[in-house]
Amino acid sequence: MNEIRCSRCGRMVEETDNFCRHCGYSLKPGRGFLNSHTGIILLMLIVGPFALPLVWTSKRMGLVAKIIYTIIMLAMGYYLVMACLQIYQLTFGMMQGMMGGL
Ligand SMILES: [Zn+2]
């Protein structure tokens, strides 16, 4: 049986426990995989800035990590918007070109 230390009261609890038996502190942080760094990074690649709320609800991450993720996501969001605008302008220009050719 593995024992870990409760991060609130510092007493030993079993690794499989969901809550500390001494102080009732939740030992299962966040919502599992999606709150881990791997989960957040994967989610960022899929949904981009929409993963932001998950970063801030995560109990596994420190404030510094949260701020870093926020900056990365804001940058990603900015480039996403710029890329969409360029695609739109390109398509629009092409369509105009085709119309003019007729
Ligand atoms: Zn405790």
Mean pLDDT of 7-27: 86
Alpha carbon of 96 to those of 10, 52, 99, 101: distances in Å? Answer: 68, 38, 5, 9
Q: What is the mean pLDDT of residues 47-62?
A: 79
pLDDT digits (tens, 9 = 90+) for 62-98: 889 889 989 988 898 899 899 999 999 999 999 888 8
Distance 16 CA to ligand 1 centre (A): 14
- How far is the first Cα of the chain from the last one, in angstroms, to the nearest whole number? 78
Radius of gyration from C-alpha coordinates of the chain: 23
- For residues 58 and 52, give the distance between their C-alpha atoms in angstroms, rounded to a whole number: 10
41: CA distance to ligand 1 center in Å? 30
Res. 46: pLDDT tops 80 = yes
pLDDT, the chain, mean: 83
Strand partners, 14: 3
Burial label for 42, CB within 10 Å (0-12, 13-18, 19+), is: middle
Distance 88 CA to ligand 1 centre (A): 55
0.75 cut: is pTM over it?
no
CA distance 90 to 20: 58
Ligand 1 centroid–CA 19 distance in Å is 8
Distance from residue 14's CA to the centre of ligand 1 (Å) = 11
d(CA 37, ligand 1 centre) in Å: 24
H helices present in 1-102, as ranges: 37-47, 52-57, 63-101
Residue 49 has pLDDT above 80, yes or no: no
